[in-house]
Structures are given as structure tokens and as C-alpha cells.
A and B are shown apart, each in its own frame.
Chain A
Amino acid sequence: MSEVGTARLRKEDARLLTGQTRWTDNIDATGMLHLAVLRSPMAHARVDRVDVSPALERPGVVAAFSGADLAEGMGSLPCAWPVTEDIVLPDHPPIATSEVRFAGDPVAVVVARDRYAAADALEAVEVEYTPLPPVLDLEEALAEGAPLVHSDKGTNRCYDWPLRTGEDFAEVRRRAEVTLKRRYHQQRLIPNAMEPRAVVVTPTAASDEYTVHSSTQIPHILRVMLAVVTGVPEHKLRVVAPDVGGGFGSKLQVYGEEAITLAVARRLGRPVKWTESRSEGYLATHHGRGMIQDIEIAANRDGTLLGLKADLLVDMGAYLMLVTPGIPILGAFMYPGIYKMGSYELNVTGVFTTRTPTDAYRGAGRPEATYAIERIMDELADELGLDPVELRRRNWIRHEEFPYTTIAGLTYDSGNYEAATDKALALFDYDKLRAEQADRNQRGDTVRLGIGVSTYTEMCGLAPSRVLRDLRYAAGGWEAASVRMLPTGKVEVVTGTSPHGQGHATSWSQIAADVLGVPFDDVQVVHGDTRAAPQGMDTYGSRSLVVGGTAVHHAATKVVDKARKVAAHLLEANEGDLEFTDGVFSVKGSPDARRTIQEIAFETFTSHDLPDGVEPTINAGHLTDPDNFSYPHGTHLCAVEVDTETGQTRIRSYVAVDDVGRVINPLIVEGQVHGGLAQGIAQALYEEAVYDEEGNLVSGTMADYLVPAAPDLPEFVTDRTETPATTNPLGVKGVGEAGTIASTPAVVGAIVDALRPLGVRDLRMPCTPERVWQALKEASA
């Protein structure tokens, strides 16, 4: 029986369900000290004086350091994606020395024997600040004479990144029968992985060697970067990501606290732990989105798209983190979506502000792109008097046209937008809901029905290394795997990906079990430890299965090829005469002559009778560098009921039909879609990082920032079509971000659709009852 495609229950669950977990904050070590961070209470200020000595008087305190104390030997935190040659790259000290640039910027640390003592002693640190003007508005920040976030740089403009392809857009605009312009706002979001960040550094006595446990998505990248930032040589650093409680991009980072904790443990020669509180995390863990999008679309009256122009102003926050400038560039190629057009023009402008830095958050650039194109397609449909689904049909790439190179220059290898859309429409009962909507509008019902559609695609499987070079990303996009056959025939699969809830141990076991013909339960997956799994590029951007899973497939195939050589020798047959099925090598025509792959593993262990020149192992490793991205797609439909008297929105039904290529484990795929939907719907309806005019984060705790709870979300109807990817042997495309990317425009589109007859043309996210109510008032005024 094939493992791939089976809804295997997860191997990961047992310890998570019984509390036998290994979260970073669970780690304890003899003599361990607790580190607490004092943070700037202001968005922007000069640091005139920091005196940590009063903190040293406090009970339990062992040491305290200002930024200046720690500066020696510490480099700038890395930005690995300088997207243009002339990008402004400010210095980014892990802890501020002379100026703080966002509320939450670290200024001093205290180290004590327990966490309460450390937190208490922060109060005793004396800091004097001279306030400087905050920089908050993206457009004002670019104006002449605006206060500067980094005064030594002379500008708040971080970079301009243009992309122009096809016909000149100005020309197309002149010729078009219809043009539309819209401005969309991508509010700042706080990722809110349920596990707060934590790091524990344990020195090995007297040898300048360190084990760093961190709740990170990227142990391998972190190891390199920590070596660069702190000067601890890379071979003396072991980074372990134990159980990690979610990331969604927010743990795809090299954080100041990781470098600081390492530096302090090194100075003190003792294990040190830092764990963020949720409120601290709201200030100091990177945020997502934060963008103003000016979108213009040109079309003919029959709905044929001609061109698209997008101008993006992107809030970098105060500093460039690991991939901050690259996030909108990931989206840049996705604005044309699944549609054919002859002209595309885009300009991205990165802007510094005195707010928490932004970086990757579930979907990273692609949700923003999809939102813009899907929302403006709705507006165009309205303008032309077309059904929004019909407008999409007239423009999308038809399934017989794949592979198709889009106006943005990407080659979509496979897809079938018709099939996914037809399935979604049927599940949703589109026509019936449209009829009900018309009826309610007719009656002037105070509760209006609206329907939103999103026909999205995304770009997963990050990424071909050569493409990354062209985009000026400072690393490759390969992934590593190795497969070890143990003497008893059991299997260890070592992966360079680093899961934090995605179930790799289960899916990777399924892949390896199929190739090797061994039982699923005989496979163990090893990950998240740079010593046990020395090579890898880690987990983000729905790349793990597409790149990492493919590497597992290839490594396992190599094991079988090696085993075949040994089997041929033992069976005294030609390799070409051997068949391999369900883990058994047999000689064609003489079925009794057989050896199992487990027997071969044992033979190589004893090495008593190996063919000449064959190494005594059938273990194998493989590094995969993908040829292309992968392009999952799908159609999501959302029906909402909006109470025009209260502004309250209720999701009445939600249908998601996704095509993520071949499915390894349907249970896991469905779970990933659900989680993604929750995050995308939350952007549409609930979440926003709000700052006051001084630059303080107003939504600074879970009490003020609305993370949806169970009653806030609907039942989802999910289904799928399966159009295998043609660019990897598994046919997989990636699924982690699909739900997030597709759902935000579907939900907002539905609300606008409900209120259009009442004169509402657009809404700013999140579409809270108050905003909806205000929009209705303005429309009727």
C-alpha cells in the first residue's frame, strides 16, 4: 500500500498530548541564570546615560549590562536581503548604545538567579533619554525635511525597486477603455505564535563552545549568523530548535536577544535563559505586513485585462531584519495573479519608521499582492457590470495553456483554475446565494448578504538558488536530506527543514517508507539540531515539502540504488535483472531469489561479503536545488451577513478548494488550510497593530490585540483538486500559506459586496463593526 496519500495520524502528537514537551523555556541547566531586557519606553530618543549599577544591588542579581557594555565584539544584526545595490543599510546593534528607534528597542539587560528577581531589578536601571521626533507616517517620512530614523543616512527612503515588463503601462492606460485606481492598506499585524520566543545558551566549560536552544524556525541560518554577529566561531556553536510552538515567519529571524544571551553566557561562563513575555514580544518580535498599495488596472469593456500598475510604500520599521526588504519583492511577482495581461509596472519603496521592524509573516508579500489584485478585480467587475467570477474566467490562464510564463516573468508549471473554481462554486451553491442576496437587497433587509471570491495562486518552494542570486538574496534555496539504514533495518531520515507544527516527522516518514519499502513506523525523522542535521536551509515560505521533501525522496532513492548493487552481488545476478517492490529485491523470473532491503542493511553492517569497491554502507544524502518555484492555487468563496444597524459581520459560509499538487497526507493538508484561513480571516476582520501619535504600541497585549478565538471563526468547507507539480518528482506544491493568502480578499470582498448597494465602495482592514458602521454612515451622508 502506498503511504503517500494516506491520512496517517501524526507521530508528533504523543508527546504533545501528554505534556512530554521540549519547549525552549522548559530547558533548565545547573547554575542557569535568567536574563531580562530593559526596553525603550519611547519610539525615538537619544540615550544619554545608562547606569546599571543600582540593579546590581538588588537581591538575586548576578550581572547587568548596558548596550555600551555589550557593544565590544558584537556586530550588527544581519540583513541578508539587500534588494538593490544602493539600498540604505543602517547599523543594527543587538542592543541600543546611543539612540533608540522604536518602543521596545533594548537598552540594558539584567541577569539574576530567578526570573522574578531579574524582572524586578530592571526597575532599578537608570536611563536618561532625550526624546526625538517619531517617524510614523509613510508618506510624510519621505517628505523633504522629515525627521530621520537614521540621521547618519540622510533619508528615510530605504530603497526603490522597480519592475517593468511588457508594453509601457502609460501607453496601455491611454488605449484602455476602462481604468481604475485604488488605494489599499495592509495594516500591521502581530504574528502571535502561541509559544513566546525563548533562548537558552549553555556553555561547555572552558572551551568557548556553546549550545544555543532557541524557539526558531531557522537553526541552520541562525548558527551562521550568530557566529558572524558574536564572533564565536561557527564550529563551536550548536543550535537546536527543540519543540517550537508555531512561527508563521516570526521565528524566521536572527534576533538581538539571541545574540545578547549568547554574549552574556560567554562573559559569565554560565547557562543563561531569556524568555519573552507576550507583551514584550508584541514590541520586540517582528511584525508583518504594513504597506500602502496604489493599484491601477487597465482593461477593455468586455473585461479583457490589458495591464496593471502597482506602487507600494512599505513600512520597514526601524531596522532591517533578516529579510525585511525582500518581503515585498516576494510579492512583486504575484500582483498579476492568475491573469493574462500585456503590461505590468511596479515600484516598491521601502520606508524607515520608528516602529517595530517588519519581516516575514505567513505568506510574506504574497497575501498583500493577492489582496490587491483580487480586490481590484472585484471593483473592475462592478464597473463593467460583470459577475466577479465571470470576469476572472475571461482573464485567467486556461489549463491547456500551462506551462505559462506570466507578465511578471514567472513560469507557472501547472494548474487548473477552471476545475478548482467549478468545484468551489458547486460546494458553495453560488447561484442560490446570489438569489438570496438579490432578494434581501430588494426587501431592504437590515442584514445584508455579500459574496466574496478569491482565485489565487502563490509562489512556494523557495527557491532556485540562481533566482535568489538574481534577487540579491544572500543565501541559496537548496535543502538537504540524508537517509540512514540502521543495522537492524530501521531508518533514520535526517532533514534540513525545521518544523514547528507542520508534521514533517509524519510526512517525511511517508515519503521515505514508500521509496524504501519499509513500514511507516520503522522510520524516525531527525531535525532541528545543527549537530544531528548539519546541513539545511530550514522552514519558511511553504518550502519544506517541495524542496526538503524532494531531497528526502532523492536520498531514499540513492539508498535503494546502493542496496541494489549489494543485492545483485549476493544474489549473483545482474543489477538490471533485479526488481524492487515493497522493500524486496528479487531476480526476474526466479521469485525465490530475494533479499529484503533490511537484510542488505545488515549485510553492509557486517561487510562480510560486499562486492569489490563498494563502501560498507547504503546510507545516502542528497541536496536538492529546485528548478523552479511551485504554484499552488485555488478558489475560495465566502458569504457574509452584515448587520447594517450594528456593523457586525458574521461569516455565513466559507468554501476553500485548493490545489496544492499531489497530497502526501490529506489530514495534514486540511489542518494547514484551516490554520491559514484563521490567520487570513483575522486580518480581514480582527487584527491590527495600532500605534498612537507618539509611536507607542497601543495594542500592546493580548487583551488589546484581537486574536480570534473559537467562536469568532466559522466552520470551513474544504476540498481540493490535484494538479501535480511538474518540477519535482513528488508533484507537490506546498500548502502552509494558501489559506492565509486566499481568505483575506474573499472576506473583505464579501463585505464590500454586501454593502455596495448602500454606496460602500471599500473598507479598511480590519473591518470591525465600528469601521463598517462608519462607512455606512459616510455612504448615506
Chain B
Amino acid sequence: MTRISVKVDGTVYQDEVEPRLLLIHYLRDRLGLTGTPIGCDTSNCGACTVDLDGASVKSCSVLAVQADGSEVTTVQGLARDGEWTALQHAFHERHALQCGYCTPGMLMAARDLLRDNARPTPDEVRHALEGNLCRCTGYQNIVRAVLDAAETAEQGVAT
């Protein structure tokens, strides 16, 4: 057992964890933060994507102990005081989700992209989302939503 301290969505958690515990299971099973789902066991689908100290990571390929001393943001920490981010609004308006299972990962990966590249081209969006699979939308509306969010973000709305 290893002692860790992690700040998740603004709250600090102190825990004893097995060294092999994956971050995704720590979030879901220990903290009850089930907003981030699991889609695969080979780090291919991106459903579990979260933000770890300012970079998007697949939380199924990170150990909980590696997050010690870090700050994690999940889909549940995106909205502030109930206010959705520009990306959440854009996904809603563009119908960029159907079953919604890939959505948390998509939002986190798109957020990371827009941080690095405020005005991506459609191709850049598609490439940035390569590690996030969606089986419902055919991606087109997701790409549109990210482009829309980029536009609103320029006007000062948080992505």
C-alpha cells in the first residue's frame, strides 16, 4: 500500500492504494467519480481520458500512485458553479453525442487540443481526437462542435 495525495476536481483526497491500482479505478471505485467511463483494456478507446496536471491522459494507462501530488480534472469538474464550458455547450448544440459513452473522453481530449491550438483546422481536430473512439456519431458533429467551441473560446468563454 502506498500513500497518495491527489486533488481531483478541486477536492484533495488522501488515500492508501495498492501500487498496481489504475487511476481510472481509483477515480471510479474509490472516489465514486463515475463520470469517467472505461471502454477498453488496451488504452485504445480514449473513453477514460482525464486531465493530469494540464495534459490529457488516458487514465487507464496511469497508476494511481503516479498521480500522487498531482491535480486531476475529470468531466465532472468541467462545469463551474453549474456553468457549462464552451465545449459542453457546443457538443450539445451540434448533437455531438448520442449514447454519450465516449463524450467525457472527447471533451477532455478536445479541451487539451484547444489549449495548444486555439484555432485548429478540421483536419487538426480529427487528428487530435485520433485516440478517442466513438461508435455513434461518425465524428462529424464532434469535429463541428470543437470548431464551434474554438470560436466561442476566442471570445473569452472557458473551454
Contacts and interface: CB of A to CB of B under 8 A. Distances in A.
Contacts of A678: 135, 137-139
A19 B36 contact: yes
A656 B22 CA distance: 43
Given A711-B130, A715-B122, A667 B47 contact: no
A244 interface: yes
A245 B92 contact: no
A195 B104 contact: no
Interface string B29-48: 10011111111111011010
Nearest to B92: A13
Given A116-B20, A709-B132, A710-B126, A16 B141 contact: no
Interface in B97-126: 97-104, 107, 122-123, 125-126
A20 B47 CA distance: 15
B92 A18 contact: no
B142 interface: yes
Nearest to A739: B138
A19 B97 CA distance: 13
Contact of A501 (B28, B75, B100): B100
Given A17-B97, A501-B100, A194 B140 contact: no
Contacts of B98: 246, 501-503, 671-672, 675
A565 interface: no
A196 B91 contact: no
Interface stretch (B51-59, B76-84, B149-157): B76-84
Contact of A10 (B33, B36, B92): B92
Interface in A703-751: 703, 707, 709-711, 713, 715-716, 739
B158 to A, nearest CB: 14
A245 B95 contact: no
B72 to A, nearest CB: 13
B136 interface: yes
A662 interface: no
A710 B125 contact: yes
B143 interface: yes
Interface string A1-24: 000000001101110111111010
A503 B99 CA distance: 8
Nearest to B46: A709
B144 to A, nearest CB: 10
A25 B36 CA distance: 11
Interface string A688-712: 0000000000000111000101110
Contacts of A503: 98
A3 B123 CA distance: 36
Contact of B42 (A195, A670, A703, A710): A703
Contacts of B45: 194, 278, 702
Interface string A660-697: 00000001101110111111000000000000000000
B123 to A, nearest CB: 8
Contacts of B41: 277-279, 701
A703 B92 CA distance: 30
Given A21-B34, A710-B129, A279 B42 contact: yes
Contacts of A577: none
A365 B41 CA distance: 31
A709 B42 contact: no
Contacts of A245: 37, 99-101
Contacts of B65: none
Interface in A182-199: 192-196
A18 B78 contact: yes
A193 B101 CA distance: 9
Interface in A144-200: 192-196
A706 to B, nearest CB: 10
B133 interface: yes
Nearest to B18: A116
B92 A17 contact: yes
**9 closest pairs, A vs B, by CB?**
A19-B35, A16-B100, A245-B101, A501-B99, A674-B138, A501-B98, A678-B138, A702-B44, A26-B34
10 contacts: A12-B100, A19-B33, A23-B101, A26-B34, A28-B32, A194-B39, A194-B45, A194-B101, A503-B98, A710-B143
Interface of A: 9-10, 12-14, 16-21, 23, 25-26, 28, 114-116, 192-196, 243-246, 248, 277-279, 500-503, 667-668, 670-672, 674-679, 701-703, 707, 709-711, 713, 715-716, 739
